[in-house]
Amino acid sequence: MYRLQFSCMVVVLAFALRPSLAGEHHTLRYLYDDSRVPISARSLAISPDSKEAALGLDNGVVHFIRLADGEQTSEVNALPFDMKYSRDGSRILMLSEYEAFTLSTSTRSRTKVNTSDVPGYVGLMTVNRNGKLIVDATVDGSPAHLCKELQRGDEIVAIGEGKSGALQDVVGMPSTQFSSHIKGPVGTYLRISLLSKDGKTTEPILLRRSPAVSSGASVQFATMQKQVLGETLMHFQRDHRHTFASAFDGKCIGSLTTEDVNLVGQYALSPDQTLFAVLSYTVRSREQFGIEIYDLAELERRHFISFNRPSFNSLAFSSDGSELFAGSNNRIDVYDAGTGEYKRGLVGKDDMSLPKPTGRNPETTISGSAGTSVVGAASDTVGEFTVSETRVEKIAVSKSIVAVAVPGGALELWDAQTGIIKTAIPAPKHGTRQYINLKVDLMQFSPDGRWLVYYIEGIFNIVDVSEFSDPSTGPQE
């Protein structure tokens, strides 16, 4: 356990507040007692039974709060950058820069876990000859052995991670150093550029790292198996990759690299943990944005979507995982998560008299690897209605509503199908103190869709939004 280096905090509990047209509202205020400055939030998780929230703050304390009445029940010393409840709610995986552990939800005891990647190999052996890095042999059954384009005697001149991106020059690199460069997590891709014996430079060869087991002096390679998913996954970035670990025991289930969009951006995991989406600028231009959707069972990209917007700031799956909501500064575009097709645009309309969303624009973009679906890009208008002012800063999605954090610290609840504004929740009060540019730090719906929880400038808010959910849908999973 690390030492806390922050001052103590003051917690003030208030409850039964009622925002404009919204339900029961509980708040907790977190301030440093020596300066009365709000404590920043780092992480937020809600239990699968929708009864408890875990709130991680920058002062190194995680607070556990009962959603039904806003009462804080316990706290632990930890500084996770993210945390997730396991599917059965028995434990929470917490990841920080210093440690990884699961916390029992009943006893609050800790168990250290190992989130290391599962190593993968390509089975390629090289030698240095006449100042060149030469393919010497391949291991039987390995990805390199099964690749017919790779021949003994070829010179290796460059390598790269993933299916796209920059290549690294390795001309004349020592074999021992090269061996360390081609190691990586199982399931990830390695590209190798060759100079053949007849002096021709080839297109990069794509090899997928496979699991291998050593038995004495021999190595047995196995084919990649489709993952059996079901446990809640924690997503984090490590070594220029997206990595996914089980919230139950911290074991890594796999890693992947993006292809046509940058690694850093907005991310979303589908509720059933089978899909992962990235919204970022493309590797070709910081002026162009795109969305990539990955199948986590196979760690393969399924769709690339051109995101023709002047900005991007949020990404979320619907509660059933069938739709993907992507936010820019002034609207939310909705895509079919299974096909990648554009479905509709939401702009936050005040009444039903404004134009309804129209179908997708037939514009397409050809990009990505062979076999990857490339779908139509969204139109820049919704019917005849176009907006340019900043409206959307952050979103969260439940079964039938979208919570939208708007400038000034207020929230709006939009109908997830039409974009009609159902209600507005004003920014929280700070007494006589004035804050400039209030922004919501963290925001989530509880799994059952009843509670909307969010953190803003030292105030943790719990709002009952059940009256705005579709009563015919019943509890969400």
Query: pLDDT tens across 363-375, in order?
Result: 333 333 333 344 4
431 and 416 inside one domain = no
**In the prediction, which pLDDT does 170 show?**
94
Query: Nearest 5 degrees, angle CA 343-CA 346-CA 347?
Result: 155
pLDDT at 67 over 90: yes
User: Percent of the chain having pLDDT more than 90?
Assistant: 68
pLDDT average, residue stretch 379-399: 68
**In the prediction, which pLDDT does 1 show?**
32
pLDDT at 282 over 90: yes
User: Given CA atoms 149, 150, 151, 153 in this order, what sign does their dihedral have?
Assistant: positive
Last residue of a domain, one of 201, 221, 241: 221
Please enumerate in sequence order all residues whose Cβ is within 8 A of that of 316, keeping only pairs 6 or more positions apart, or say none.
Answer: 268, 324, 325, 395, 396, 397
d(CA 112, CA 250): 9
Span 110-164, pLDDT tens digits = 999 999 999 999 999 999 999 999 999 999 999 999 998 888 999 999 999 999 8
**In the prediction, which pLDDT does 3 show?**
34
350 and 455 inside one domain = no
Domain count, the chain: 3
Last residue of a domain, one of 174, 192, 221: 221
Range of the domain at 160: 119-221
**In the prediction, which pLDDT does 469 show?**
77
> What DSSP letter does each residue of 81-137 carry, written as one string?
SEEEE-TTSSEEEEE-SS-EEEEETTT--EEE---PPPEEB--EEEEEETTEEEEEE
How sure is the predictor about 166, in pLDDT bands with cuts at 50, 70 and 90? confident
183 within a domain of the structure (yes/no)? yes
3-state secondary structure of 128: strand
CATH code: domain of residue 180: 2.30.42.10
> What are the φ/ψ torsions at residue 67 (nearest 5 degrees)?
-70, -30
**In the prediction, which pLDDT does 230 show?**
87
3-state secondary structure of 67: coil
247 and 380 inside one domain = yes
280 and 418 inside one domain = yes
pLDDT average, residue stretch 208-212: 92
177 and 47 inside one domain = no
363 within a domain of the structure (yes/no)? yes
**In the prediction, which pLDDT does 351 show?**
61
Site of tokens 């590209």: 191
Alpha helix ranges (H) inside 59-194: 143-146, 175-181
3-state secondary structure of 467: helix
d(CA 263, CA 266): 9
181 and 59 inside one domain = no
User: Percent of the chain having pLDDT more than 70?
Assistant: 83
287 and 325 inside one domain = yes
The whole-model pTM stands at 0.85
**In the prediction, which pLDDT does 460 show?**
96
Beta strand pairing call for 252-256 and 442-445: unpaired
Q: Among 44, 54, 192, which Cα is nearest to 123's? A: 192
Q: Which of 109-118, 244-253, 275-284, 433-442 has the lowest mean pLDDT?
A: 433-442
pLDDT average, residue stretch 262-274: 96
> What DSSP letter does each residue of 197-266 carry, written as one string?
TTSPBPPPEEEE-B-EEEETTEEEE---------S-EEEEEETTEEEEEETTT--EEEEE--SSB-SSSE
Query: Nearest 5 degrees, angle CA 308-CA 375-CA 406?
Result: 40
**In the prediction, which pLDDT does 232 show?**
96
454 and 358 inside one domain = no
Query: Measured in Å, how far apart are the chain's first and last C-alpha atoms?
Result: 35
CATH code: domain of residue 285: 2.130.10.10
228 within a domain of the structure (yes/no)? no
307 and 172 inside one domain = no
Last residue of a domain, one of 383, 404, 425: 425
226 within a domain of the structure (yes/no)? no
192 within a domain of the structure (yes/no)? yes
pLDDT at 376 over 70: no
- The full 3-state SS of 266-278, as one line of letters, equals EEEECCCCCEEEE
309 and 386 inside one domain = yes
454 within a domain of the structure (yes/no)? yes
How sure is the predictor about 431, in pLDDT bands with cuts at 50, 70 and 90? low
186 and 243 inside one domain = no
Mean pLDDT of the chain: 85
How sure is the predictor about 278, in pLDDT bands with cuts at 50, 70 and 90? very high
d(CA 441, CA 421): 22
User: Cα separations (Å) of 65 from 15, 28, 154?
Assistant: 13, 9, 62
227 within a domain of the structure (yes/no)? no
pLDDT average, residue stretch 292-298: 96
2 within a domain of the structure (yes/no)? no
b/e 127-151 (16+ beta carbons within 10 angstroms → b) = eeeeebbbbeebbebbbbbebeebe
**In the prediction, which pLDDT does 77 show?**
96
On whether the CB atoms of residues 19 and 463 are closer than 8 A, the answer is yes
280 and 409 inside one domain = yes
pLDDT at 472 over 80: no
